[in-house]
Amino acid sequence: MSGCATLILAGGSGARMGSDVPKQYLDLCGLPVLRRTVTVFLDHPLVDNVQVVIGEEDKNNYEAAVTGLDLPDPVIGGITRQASSRKGLEGLASTNPDIVLIHDAARALIDAATIDAVISALDLNHAVLPGIPVADTLKRVLGDTAIVSDTIDRTTLWRAQTPQGFRFDKILDAHRQFENEDLTDDAAVAERAGTDVAMVRGNENNFKITTQDDLERAKTMMSSSMGDTRIGTGFDVHAFGDGDCLTLCGIEIDHEQGLEGHSDADVAMHAITDALLGAIAAGDIGNHFPPSDEKWRGAASYVFLEHAAKLISDRNGSIANIDLTIICETPKIGPHRVRMQESLASLLSIEVSRISVKATTTEKLGFTGRNEGIAAQAVAAVRLP
Ligand code: MG
């Protein structure tokens, strides 16, 4: 048996969002909703592994959203939420965890304290969910006329949230036994199987991002908690040398010369990496990847960039924007600009619109003017909680 597993249900469509892209893949302050949700659980000390359940048609969205995270292949869900949940549980069966948390991908503002409360209550219960007592007066409205038929006593009513926690064997059995019922949450499946389900108090902020208004509300909340804006700058130079191509922003460009360097000499990516490290005062690229270390000879520079990005995400930060200037007489940057932006956006899991790639010459002056090498400078803004 192995501790606590988490199942994240990301099979929903974007129907109520009015978007072609399902809500869990939309941007929430620089990172996809799903990535934010998954990261909270991956970072939680009591969670041992995270399994995501996705829609068949969302494989590409999924891969883009979770690039670089330590996750097993996704499980493909079913037609209903209940079916998706069961498939996810079956996918975890071989690892046989003691307990499982089942969470909606669209609840990206889940906090560690709610996860703690659910796990802790599982010591004494087989099934636990977080919820909020209903504060508003509830009205029943019948028909199309929107006429109120009666007022419902709310004193015993709670709004159900996730993550819902279960003894793994209990909830898997319950799902297998009541597989065709289309129940709307896993607690209902446990109830159906006769298991007592305990309620713990959830967090009002742990709402499900369902509509465009919800997404805006989540962005506002997230932004207000990310008020520490940092700026970093980076500068780098590499000399031309033998070769017939060079790499800039991860894009290989045919050229009459290559660039000299210990790694792949991607001068542009080095400048950006230093800007990101500078923004969080985490030293420079040479501290993290010493040129004296043979390990980095010929290394692809995306390793450096992803390391800087991980240091930022480890601090729950996000990259607000990057502005790169490449300074050279040759090669021409313009034809490659869009691919460079896309390459960086994909490596950093941020929107292309947050990355600017510019180029200039020094009017034939200085070493870049004499076409002896390429210089690059970058500015990055990073937001931290
Ligand atoms: Mg360099």
Kindly give the distance from the C-alpha atom of residue 384 to the centroid of ligand 1, in angstroms, as a whole number.
26
Kindly give the distance from the C-alpha atom of residue 49 to the centroid of ligand 1, in angstroms, as a whole number.
37
Contact indicator for 168, 99 with CB cutoff of 8 Å: yes
Peptide linkage before 331 cis (omega within 30 of 0): yes
Phi, psi of 64 (to 5 degrees): -65, -35
Kindly give the distance from the C-alpha atom of residue 363 to the centroid of ligand 1, in angstroms, as a whole number.
23
Kindly give the distance from the C-alpha atom of residue 352 to the centroid of ligand 1, in angstroms, as a whole number.
24
Kindly give the distance from the C-alpha atom of residue 297 to the centroid of ligand 1, in angstroms, as a whole number.
12
Rounded Cα gap, residues 268 and 125, in angstroms:
55
Kindly give the distance from the C-alpha atom of residue 238 to the centroid of ligand 1, in angstroms, as a whole number.
6
Indicate the pTM of the whole model: 0.72
Structural element, H or E, at residue 379: strand 373-384
pLDDT at 13: 65
pLDDT at 281: 98
pLDDT at 2: 61
Rounded Cα gap, residues 238 and 240, in angstroms:
7
Question: How does pLDDT run along the chain (385 residues), one tens digit per residue?
Answer: 369 999 999 987 656 566 778 899 998 887 899 999 999 999 899 999 999 999 999 999 999 899 878 899 999 999 999 999 999 999 999 999 999 999 999 999 999 999 999 999 999 999 999 999 999 999 999 877 788 989 999 999 999 999 999 999 999 999 999 998 889 999 999 999 999 999 999 999 999 999 999 999 999 998 888 889 999 999 999 999 999 999 999 999 999 999 999 889 999 999 999 999 999 999 999 999 988 888 888 889 999 999 999 999 888 888 999 999 999 999 999 999 999 999 999 899 888 999 999 999 999 999 999 999 999 999 999 999 8
pLDDT at 16: 59
Rounded Cα gap, residues 211 and 214, in angstroms:
5
Give me the half-sphere count of Cα atoms (radius 13 Å) on the Cβ side of residue 168. Answer: 20
Kindly give the distance from the C-alpha atom of residue 341 to the centroid of ligand 1, in angstroms, as a whole number.
19
Rounded Cα gap, residues 257 and 241, in angstroms:
6
Shortest CA distance to 296 belongs to which of 282, 309, 307? 307
User: Which two structure tokens, joined as six digits, stand for 216?
Assistant: 């805006």
Residues with CB under 5 A from ligand 1 (ion): 236, 270
Kindly give the distance from the C-alpha atom of residue 164 to the centroid of ligand 1, in angstroms, as a whole number.
48
pLDDT at 224: 85
Inter-CA distances, 265 with 176, 231, 245, 246, 252, Å = 56, 24, 11, 8, 11
Other Cβ atoms closer than 10 A to 375: 20
Domains and CATH numbers, the chain: 4-225 (3.90.550.10), 228-384 (3.30.1330.50)
User: Angle 81-92/168-177 helices, nearest 10 degrees?
Assistant: 130
pLDDT at 1: 39
Kindly give the distance from the C-alpha atom of residue 256 to the centroid of ligand 1, in angstroms, as a whole number.
20
Kindly give the distance from the C-alpha atom of residue 378 to the centroid of ligand 1, in angstroms, as a whole number.
13
User: Which two structure tokens, joined as six digits, stand for 35?
Assistant: 């990535």
